[in-house]
Amino acid sequence: MDVTTRRLLAQGLIEPAAATPGQVVETLLAVQAQDGRGARLAIRPRLSERVTEPSASMVDAALDEGSLVVNWLNRGTLHLVRAEDHGWLHALTAPRQATANQTRLRQEGVSEKQADRGVGMIVDRLKDGPATRGELKEVLAAEGVPVAGQALVHILLFASLQGLILRGPTLGGEHAFVLVEDWLGPQGEVDLELAAAELARRYLTGHGPATDRDLAKWAGVNLSLARKGLAAISGETVEADGRLELKERPSSTVAEAPVRLLGAFDPVLHGWTDRAWILPDEETRKVVTTNGIFRPTILAGDRIVGTWTMPSGRVELAPFGKLDRETVAALEVEAEMVTRYLG
């Protein structure tokens, strides 16, 4: 199998076997989640065909029961992860975010004293149970803590980086904030060497074959940490053409992934230092906006061949070029499945 096929197989886009959203996330380790619908759509094409009537509500149920959570993790971006992976992944990814967070707080006019006070108020409010961003904004604003512009976001991030809060259950259609200790239980000290090895292992599970630089970029960690993690699992990996993958990895006789409608910020576009293996350079600007928004995409023939939108609840396709009849027919079926999935 070529690199493209092996990566799509690792991503769960060829012969997916996952029976639950949790199993999808376990394979990928972390799913970008600043776009809530995009995160839910990332689950759908990676569920086994044996899952009858899959729906986005399956993801909401996992969030509400606490088996999945959302927090600022890889690259300082919101990601969906399993509850049991949150602690060690947070310990690896939070340190590099701290300096940038302090800079942004100052830029938003939030002093150190105000930031500390805001975090204390957030913790006090969450002791009474989950709260939405809007509710926390009201609490801080009532006591004179800056919340305008991006101030609130960076105070919330400040609390997250200290390991105090994360996003858990859904309230009113959004991920509510909760205290880490209340939602996940007491958090023990993380062995960073073991965590780095687990990061490398789990990254290759869902993204191999890949390089040390791919891992560092995806996780938002130092290259030295990525290399230490990969070195720790060297007995579990094989190298070919300068890329690593696990010795124990899925295999398939299927030549390519089925036609799929992928959501915004789909993981297949975020796991490596470049996307040319699946998205032609000349088409990148049609997928990625100037402010870094990744549009929902069409996967066909092991390539991204277009984008799609869903105005008024109906899927509308925007292919890069003419599609053959077989692909068009498959996309019609996909559009119906996406509509049912989102409800």
Give the total number of structural domains in the chain: 2
- What tens digit of pLDDT does each residue of 220-243 get? 999 999 999 999 999 999 998 899
Distance CA 272, CA 277 (A): 10
Whether residue 313 has pLDDT greater than 80: yes
Locate 141 and state its tokens.
């604003």
Any domain includes 188 = no
Reported confidence tier of residue 252, pLDDT bands at 50, 70, 90: confident
> What is the pLDDT, as a whole number, of residue 250?
81
pTM to 2 decimal places: 0.96
Q: 140, 162, 184 — which closes off a domain?
A: 162
Q: Which of 88-97, 169-178, 308-317, 320-329 has the lowest mean pLDDT?
A: 169-178
Any domain includes 315 = yes
Distance CA 186, CA 188 (A): 6
- Residue 312: domain span: 260-342
Contact call for residues 19 and 51 (beta carbons, < 8 A): yes
Distance CA 293, CA 286 (A): 11
Question: Across all residues in the chain, what is the average pLDDT?
Answer: 96
Distance CA 30, CA 271 (A): 10
Q: Which of 30-39, 131-140, 248-257 has the lowest mean pLDDT?
A: 248-257
CA angle 191, 197, 200 (to 5 degrees): 140
Any domain includes 14 = no
Any domain includes 147 = yes
CA angle 181, 114, 126 (to 5 degrees): 25
Report phi then psi at 10, rounded to 5: -60, -35
> What is the pLDDT, as a whole number, of residue 249?
85
Which residue is associated with the tokens 């919340």? 147
Any domain includes 320 = yes
Peptide bond into 209 cis (omega under 30): yes
Beta carbons within 10 angstroms of residue 279's beta carbon:
21
Q: 128, 146, 162 — which closes off a domain?
A: 162
Any domain includes 303 = yes
Q: 138, 162, 186 — which closes off a domain?
A: 162
Whether residue 219 has pLDDT greater than 90: yes
Distance CA 7, CA 5 (A): 5
Reported confidence tier of residue 320, pLDDT bands at 50, 70, 90: very high
Any domain includes 40 = no
Any domain includes 278 = yes
Reported confidence tier of residue 99, pLDDT bands at 50, 70, 90: very high
Reported confidence tier of residue 190, pLDDT bands at 50, 70, 90: very high
Locate 161 and state its tokens.
């980086």
Distance CA 200, CA 230 (A): 5
Reported confidence tier of residue 254, pLDDT bands at 50, 70, 90: confident
- What tens digit of pLDDT does each residue of 255-285 get? 788 999 999 999 999 999 999 999 999 999 9
**Nearest in space to 29 (alpha carbons), one of 96, 90, 76:** 90
